[in-house]
């Protein structure tokens, strides 16, 4: 039996926690993008075979991966939406990184995508920010699953962390 692994791209990869989970689930990471040089060093040390692109997402052309990726994921910058932050949303340059995430989806055309952020995004600006995100995803031709807040401790992770998950498919 010929087995072809599912392929993935991870944006805002950090030290690769999600990528490791995807690897265990049978995904082949074909690109990991991260801006922080120390996180990139960790990625390269732990998985020398991973293709790590150390650059701002704004400077990466994803079009060469069009039609070659099953799953695209990323935890786009959350400080602009966090209840602990200034809540400036898209007025904060970090908040606009969602649109770079959306550009990657447009260029790659993955079968499925997953975006991760803080719970505060759910009700930021009385839901207008999330409405903008939903509209952007729809304009890309994807159907967004109703966003969900998941608690890490319910998945045997020793944290009380809550994260909002945005997922969809073409």
DSSP letter assigned to residue 95: T
How many Cβ atoms from other residues are within 10 Å of residue 5's Cβ? 13
Helix (H, G, I), strand (E, B) or coil at 112: strand
Which residues fall within 8 angstroms of residue 60, CB to CB, at 6 or more apart? 33, 53, 104
Active-site annotation holds for 40: no
Given CA atoms 155, 130, 16, 82 in this order, what sign does their dihedral have?
negative
Q: Which stretches within 47-164 are classed as H helix? A: 97-108, 128-139
Whole-number Å distance between alpha carbons of 50 and 27: 12
User: To 5 degrees, how large is the angle CA 158–CA 149–CA 47?
Assistant: 55
Q: Which of 40, 58, 66, 78 is catalytic?
A: 78
Contact between residue 60 and residue 38 where contact means Cβ atoms under 8 Å apart: no
Catalytic residue numbers, as ranges = 78
């Amino acid at each position: 039996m010929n087995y072809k692994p599912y392929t993935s791209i991870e944006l805002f990869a950090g030290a690769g926690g999600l990528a490791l989970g995807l690897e265990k689930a049978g995904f082949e990471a074909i690109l990991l993008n991260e801006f922080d040089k120390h996180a990139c060093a960790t990625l390269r040390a732990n998985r020398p075979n991973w293709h790590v692109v150390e650059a701002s997402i704004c400077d990466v052309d994803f079009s060469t991966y069009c039609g070659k990726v099953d799953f695209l994921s990323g935890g786009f910058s959350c400080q602009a939406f966090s209840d602990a932050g200034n809540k400036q949303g898209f007025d904060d340059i970090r908040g606009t990184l969602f649109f770079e995430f959306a550009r990657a989806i447009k260029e790659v055309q993955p079968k499925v995508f997953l975006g991760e952020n803080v719970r505060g995004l759910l009700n930021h600006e009385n839901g207008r920010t999330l409405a903008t995100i939903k509209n952007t995803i729809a304009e890309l031709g994807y159907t967004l699953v109703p966003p969900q807040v998941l608690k890490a401790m319910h998945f045997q992770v020793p944290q009380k962390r809550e994260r909002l998950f945005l997922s969809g498919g073409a």
